[in-house]
């Protein structure tokens, strides 16, 4: 399955289009933000690959000057029983990643949660509201520079 996948990707996107790494038989591709939808659609719709399940989608804060935020996609092919991990990194100033809701519907809430916790904007998302925090909240709790106990007074409590 791995050879077939790499071969197909090379054929479709060209040799070494993505940074590829392997660890304990797990394949990981680092993908530029502008090609993620294209790649996801190919992985899902190619009849030999059929990565039909988006097992998880989440954010990461590397807290580095460059490529600070990442979005990670764990995709699984039910028929081939094969997993692939995709990573997209974006800059702190402009954390925008195109949405993959058009490929996997389940990405909708995953992307909302990632947006809620990291402030990553998913361009083209049909309904990018917060999931956990109040709508008026101005901070992103899972960012590394967010204090554990929160920002005092940032969420108002009812009067006693």
Partner 1 sequence: MGLEKALGDSFLLTKLEDAINWCRKNSLWPMPMGISCCAIEMMAFAGPRFDSSRFGSEVFRFSPRQADVMIVAGTTTYKMAKVVRKIYDQMPEPKWVIAMGACTSSGGIYRTYSVVQGIDQFLPVDVYVAGCPPRPDNLLKALMVLQEKVQRGESKGTEPGYLSDVPLNAKQPANI
Give contact residues for partner 1 (rule: CB under 8 A): 132-134, 141, 146-151, 155, 157-160
Instruction: In angstroms, give the least distance from the CB of 61 to partner 1.
Output: 15
> Which residue carries 């009849």 as its tokens?
47
Instruction: In angstroms, give the least distance from the CB of 133 to partner 1.
Output: 8
Residue 124 or 150 having the CB closest to partner 1: 150
Decide: residue 149, CB within 10 A, 0-12 exposed, 13-18 middle, 19+ buried.
exposed
Instruction: In angstroms, give the least distance from the CB of 144 to partner 1.
Output: 14
Q: Quick count: other Cβ atoms within 10 Å of Cβ 160?
A: 3
Instruction: In angstroms, give the least distance from the CB of 159 to partner 1.
Output: 7
Residue 60 or 133 having the CB closest to partner 1: 133
Taking the alpha carbons of 14, 17, 19, 24 in that order, is the dihedral positive or negative? negative
List, in order, residues 6 or more apart from 76 with CB less than 8 Å away.
51, 52, 53, 54, 55, 82, 83, 84
Residue 98 or 119 having the CB closest to partner 1: 119
Residue 51 or 118 having the CB closest to partner 1: 118
Tell me which DSSP letter residue 109 carries: H
> Which residue carries 């996107």 as its tokens?
13
């Amino acid at each position: 399955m791995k050879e077939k996948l790499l071969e197909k990707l090379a054929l479709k996107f060209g040799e070494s289009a993505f940074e590829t790494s392997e660890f304990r038989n797990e394949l990981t591709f680092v993908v530029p933000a502008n090609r993620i939808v294209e790649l996801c659609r190919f992985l899902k719709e190619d009849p030999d690959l059929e990565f039909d399940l988006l097992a998880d989608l989440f954010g990461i804060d590397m807290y580095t000057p460059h490529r600070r935020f990442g979005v990670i996609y764990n995709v699984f092919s039910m028929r081939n029983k094969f997993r692939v991990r995709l990573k997209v990194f974006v800059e702190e100033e402009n954390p925008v990643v195109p949405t993959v809701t058009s490929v996997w519907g389940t990405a909708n809430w995953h992307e909302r949660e990632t947006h809620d916790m990291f402030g990553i904007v998913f361009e083209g998302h049909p309904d990018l509201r917060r999931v956990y925090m109040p709508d008026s909240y101005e901070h992103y709790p899972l960012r590394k520079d967010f204090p554990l106990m929160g920002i005092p007074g940032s969420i108002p409590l009812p009067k006693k």
